[in-house]
Amino acid sequence: MERVIHISYNTIELAATVHYPAPHTRRDPNKRWPAIIICHGFVGSRIGQNRLFVEAARRFAEEGYFVLRFDYAGCGESGGEYGDNTMDAFIAQTRRVLDYVRSIDCVDASRITLLGHSLGGAVARLTANRDSRVSSLILWAPVAHPFYDIVRIVGRDSYEEAEQTGETDHLGYALRPAFFHSLAHVQPLADTASVFYGDVFIAHGTGDTDIPCDYCGLYRESLRRRAAGRCDTKLIDGADHVFASLAGRRDLFSATSDWLAQVEAQKNEWSDWTI
């Protein structure tokens, strides 16, 4: 079952779609569901390019997950203006969605995964460092250097136009200096706000021309320096930034589902231990 909801964030309504786990996956009516929150990327939406997030959410729901995908302010069907966002605002919106998911009685609050794509991957990583309610992370083609990566995408001339005139037009979105400045002030690979010790899965397409697949290795090295928490990676052969091929998407979904199953099995194994 799926339904559209709205989550209040300050004066803005964030549009979201909730996917409930398939009935056949809930064998024990007293058992709560693990949850996945999908965080889209730069000027994206909860649909995802070529329906990436729709397909992913439906698959994960079939596998027994409560899934929520949402539009950041100024994107998709949410209120607000995208150019008024900052990285701190993206993190705050993600945490507001976490509040909502944790309020659902049937959700296991100890098993909430953030799945972030592209800039949403960086936001998910930064959110997890600041919010202990996140139990694990899935990063698909994550941005590693937000300012450099986004300026490269919109163009240096557009960035300089924003600095000189107060805004620049990117695909119909008015991007303002504060947005760019906020990108320059965060470093997902070296964020020291706190340390996230949960498990992490990173997938990146080797044919990605928007965000280098080398970032997969950079994230892996950064995360493996932690004192705890596993970090697994998967390079999807030939896949582009939005995994827009049948083979690439199948590999992405299969690898992600397999990793989730391994993590769930490990947690269940530990929960059976008694002291």
State the pLDDT at residue 23.
78
The pLDDT of residue 21: 93
pTM of this structure? 0.94
Sheet holding 33-39, edge to edge: 2-9, 12-19, 66-70, 33-39, 107-117, 136-140, 199-205, 231-236
DSSP state of 245: S
Q: What is the pLDDT of residues 210-226, one digit of tens each?
A: 999 999 999 999 998 88
- The DSSP string of 2-70 is EEEEEEEETTEEEEEEEEPPPGGG--STTPPEEEEEEE--TT--SS-GGGHHHHHHHHHHHTT-EEEEE
Cβ atoms within 10 Å, residue 275: 2
pLDDT beneath 50, residues of the chain? 274-275
Contacts of 199 (CB under 8 A, 6+ apart): 135, 136, 137, 229, 230, 231, 232, 263
Give the integer Cα–Cα distance in Å for 127 and 111: 15
Map out the domains of the chain with their CATH numbers.
2-146+196-271 (3.40.50.1820)
User: pLDDT at position 275, please?
Assistant: 46
* pLDDT attached to residue 264: 86
- Supply the pLDDT for residue 22: 82
